[in-house]
Amino acid sequence: MEHAIRYSKKREAILDAIRSTHVHPTAEWVYQTLKPTHPDLSLGTVYRNLTFFREQGMIRSVGVIGGQEHFDGDLSPHSHFICLECGAVYDLPRPETLEGLDQRVSEHYGVQVDSCDLTLRGVCRKCLENRAEDDQAV
């Protein structure tokens, strides 16, 4: 049984919040950002709508970082870098070596690739600089 998609100002505000930032927010971030202008907003409403938007392909999940799922409203082809120290998520342009990867995998393995996400993990520049400063202070 399909449910009709109902328009609501809260739903629109949640989607706009995700699409208008590059911080790869969590449900908690969206809730805290919108609560001042939408006092009747609940965290449950945010979670339900994020799940709905993800299932509809309107946003994507970057994954669980530090125990919370992070989202991305930018659906253009790009990859992500996640810092294992501070949890920051950075957008990376899609490397040319990945262009056509879905087609190559489809042909080589006889499968149909519908999407491809690349996530790199390591330590960001800011954390590396902080490490270097800490090493010099010792």
- Mean predicted confidence (pLDDT) in 32-53: 96
DSSP structure class, residue 85: T
Lowest-confidence segment of 26-35, 92-101, 124-133 by average pLDDT:
92-101
**pLDDT at position 118, please?**
86
Distance CA 114, CA 123 (A): 30
- Mean predicted confidence (pLDDT) in 52-66: 94
76-138 maps to which CATH number? 3.30.1490.190
pLDDT bin (cut points 50, 70, 90) of residue 99 is confident
Q: In the chain, where are the structural domains located? A: 1-75, 76-138
39 compared with 6, residue with greater pLDDT: 39
May I ask the CATH architecture of the domain 1-75?
Orthogonal Bundle (1.10)
pLDDT bin (cut points 50, 70, 90) of residue 1 is very low
Find out whether 101 and 109 touch, Cβ atoms under 8 Å: no
pLDDT bin (cut points 50, 70, 90) of residue 107 is very high
**Residue 63: its H or E element:** strand 60-65
**pLDDT at position 2, please?**
46
Find out whether 25 and 13 touch, Cβ atoms under 8 Å: no
Chain mean pLDDT for the chain: 90
User: Is this structure's pTM higher than 0.85?
Assistant: no
- Bridge-based pairing of strands 68-72 and 60-65 is antiparallel
